[in-house]
Amino acid sequence: MTSLKTKILNIELENPFLLASAPPTARIDSIDKAFSLGWGGAVLKTITPDDLEMIEASPRYASWRIGQKVCGFENFELLSHLSVQEWVAGIHYLREKHPTKVQIASIMAPVAKQEWQNLVQTLNQTPIDAFELNFSCPHGMPEKGVGMAIGTHPEISAQITAWVKEVAQKPVFVKLTPNVTNIAQIAKAVEDAGADGLAAINTVQSLMGIDLNTFKPQPNVNGKSTFGGYSGIAVKPIGLRCVAQIRQSSNLPILGTGGVSSWQDAAEYMAVGADAVQVCTEVMLNGYQIIENLKKGLLSYLESKQFNSPSDLKNRAIANLSAHKDLNKSKQVYPKIDDEACIKCQKCVMLCDESEHSALSFQNGHIELNKARCVGCSLCKQACPKLAISMK
């Protein structure tokens, strides 16, 4: 019988959907609500030493839309405003009320051995299931020498991982930044230092936009702005690439995150190596209630594939990734146009002509293909406003 139950190391999840460390996991009562609605676990909003100051900007969110749909989301929200002891009490409360739900403590501290170890040793006294080292926040925190300022340097990342592993009594995951040229290199460094698992990705450093009347960057904070972290469905291809690159060089468990808004997104992450997924932006835009469709959709898909659990899906796509030089270039595909769906706008004709090949023409009320000129690039398919073109 198919089940959504997932086991990562010694951690048992009711389902592979966790809330990422973010505003939806900033309060104990919020996590309580999410657990009651069916989330398998939560990564707590990043816990820091109490003397690491957090002063928020207002506003601190912006979005990129196509029509009414939010495709990209930017934030420069900082970390948790709860004290360490408030989190200690909250972790105990959540464990008592939701004994089967997974709690992962996201943590961050200055680059000093005692700072990291003190924080870990305090949280060791709680029933936390694992730690997630936040080496990847791209805004605000790098100015303090932490967050992405750590995760872009393999040596520093490895050193802190080793410090934490000296004292941690639970598995240690490291959350990696996509804002590097070689994420697999950072993953290898922390793996060699003793990391038990990885999480990827955190947000992509970004600048959301400029008001062309005032020339003020967005979001506008009293006339100024700063570089933020980009998330939402637009970053999923980056997240998938990063998880796949990590999986190609590491067998450590991976928590995939970045643009997960549907069960299909989750399944894709698992197919390239993720053991489970974390969700943030979609929850911020549509609420904890999305968990029901995520679970139902993934379960139905697993059943349709005759998989017993999400672990049967893991890594299914990895063998189909190769270097460009190893792609089979001996066969070519050509566009096939659905004449009934085609509205004869001739956009494909124009774009093919203006993008080198001139393989399409409009004749006698139909789109015609000159196979001798076609290279099978699929630009026509990508640009068709009616999805009337397939490649065969």
Q: Right CATH number for 332-391 from 3.40.50.280, 3.90.1150.10, 3.40.50.40, 3.30.70.20?
A: 3.30.70.20
Report the pLDDT value the prediction gives residue 276, as an integer from 0 to 100. 99
User: Quick one: CATH architecture of 6-320?
Assistant: Alpha-Beta Barrel (3.20)
Percent of the chain with pLDDT over 70: 100
Catalytic residues: 137
Task: Quickly state the pLDDT bin for 299 (edges 50, 70, 90).
Answer: very high
Domain range list for the chain: 6-320, 332-391
pLDDT digits (tens, 9 = 90+) for 235-255: 999 999 999 999 999 999 999
pLDDT digits (tens, 9 = 90+) for 260-293: 999 999 999 999 999 999 999 999 999 999 999 9
Task: Quickly state the pLDDT bin for 390 (edges 50, 70, 90).
Answer: very high
Look up the pTM and report it.
Answer: 0.97
- The two beta strands, 69-75 and 61-66, are antiparallel
Task: Quickly state the pLDDT bin for 91 (edges 50, 70, 90).
Answer: very high
Report the pLDDT value the prediction gives residue 217, as an integer from 0 to 100. 98
Report the pLDDT value the prediction gives residue 193, as an integer from 0 to 100. 99
pLDDT digits (tens, 9 = 90+) for 5-43: 999 999 999 999 999 999 999 999 999 999 999 999 999
Report the pLDDT value the prediction gives residue 226, as an integer from 0 to 100. 98
